[in-house]
Structure 1
Amino acid sequence: MDRRASQFRLDNPVLAFRFTATLVDRSGEAVERLATPSSLATWFELNGFGTPPRELTEGDLLRARELREVIHRIGTATATGGELDPADVERLNEFSVGGAGHLTLEHGRATWCLPPRRWVDSLFGVIADDAVRVLGGQSRTRVRVCARPECHGLFVDTSRAGTRRWCSMNYCGNRQKKQNLRASAR
């Protein structure tokens, strides 16, 4: 396993929600995992998009954080039955149409094809498209916010009963259960 992966939560099957997990502990002392342009490049690589064809800039980083927060706000509103901010929806749609990425089949595997001159915009478009697909598709009624107070991560509840509480049982579920046990022992 790539040692760089330990700095990110990569266990969410929804790409857009995995991207929102680059800001950790939203309700406490937030930890920014996209701290530098190189950390953004690392996230891209670890998620199967390859190495950027150019050095990423602070501007790329700011746009990445903007996209992340737009997705998180829309996802949270979707999960809680809140109103979607029209400005967030417009911005998500702008990111979505700004890309030119597509999947190709190479050696029996799906591979992202991103034009080198528009690589970053296309990648943001791929992430925004994924968010639109989940938040505006059949899965939207199953979008949830993790019940662990420090997390607030988004996930799609695929449980039969539709009662899943944690973005990941192995991560947040176990941590919350341990925290509850310690609190009850006191």
Structure 2
Amino acid sequence: MDATKVFRLENDVLAFRFTATLSDRAGESPRERLVDPAHLELWFRVAGLDVVGLDAADLRSAVDFREVVHRVGSAFATGLTPAVTDLAALNRVAAGGRATLVLDEKGCAAWSLENSSLADALSVIAQDAIRVLGACDTVPVRLCEGPGCAGLFVDGSRGRNRRWCSMNTCGNRIKKARLAAK
């Protein structure tokens, strides 16, 4: 199975890439990409978080956590205060793993999961979300304005006026629609 055909992987933020496993979430027919434990394992593998042996309960836990990350990110992106329960869940998951960041002989950083566990992998995602969302006053988190998308992204553009999670997908759709309208 080719992960690039199954998942949207262009987001630089690991936690937001994870939330993109449900695409077109604000549209008429959201597309769930984590359809079974094997797809979750594939996503973890391409994210550099090898976790195997997952079951349906693990998939439910991961999907539930993904939605926590999206709700917290969306709250920050829209200037709202996240729900206390979502913040508690995010912080609990971040503290629940035993993953460590390691440096290899080539100078590349990678996460080492102590037991290749779901808790370790989700902890890495939670820590990434906290790192990014905790800097939202200096680098704003935004919701994609693409039709039906509502994907999260960090707006690092010079004018802080980026509108789409990805120019390759949502931005391209908008440009094509404008051209077709002319």
State the TM bucket, normalised to the shorter chain.
over 0.9
Note closer, same or farther for the CA distance 1:140–1:15 as it changes in structure 2 (3 Å cut).
Answer: farther
Give the secondary-structure state (helix, strand or coil) at the position aligned to 2:120: helix
Aligned 8 A contact 1:20 1:71 in 2? yes
Partner of 2:152: 154
CA distance in 2, matches of 1:11, 1:179: 22
Structure 2, gaps ≥5 residues long = none
Deviation, 1:74, is 0.8
Task: Give the root-mean-square deviation of aligned CA atoms.
Answer: 1.6
Matches within 5 A, 1:13-32: 13-27=12-26, 28-32=28-32
1:4 deviates by 2.5
Counterpart of 2:166 (choices 157, 163, 168) is 168
- CA distance in structure 1 between the aligned counterparts of 2:160 and 2:13, rounded to whole angstroms: 17
Indicate the residue corresponding to 2:93 in structure 1: 95
Residue 71 of structure 1 deviates from its aligned partner by: 0.7
Unaligned runs of 5+ in 1: none
Instruction: Name the CA distance, whole Å, in 2 between partners of 1:139 and 1:47.
Output: 27
Question: TM-score, normalised to structure 1's length?
Answer: 0.91
Structure 1 residue ranges (4+ consecutive) displaced by more than 4 angstroms after TM superposition: 138-141
The alignment-based identity, stated in percent, is 46
The structure richer in helix per residue is: 1
CA contact (8 A) 1:79 1:141 kept: no
Counterpart Cα distance in 2 of 1:4 and 1:79? 28
- Tell me the TM-score normalised to structure 2 length: 0.93
Q: Which deviations, in whole Å up to 9, do the C-alpha atoms of 1:15-54 show, x marking residues without a partner?
A: 000000000111220110011000000000111123x2x4
Name the count of aligned residue pairs: 180
Distance 1:25 1:43, change over 3 A: same
Q: 1:119 aligns with which of 112, 117, 120?
A: 117
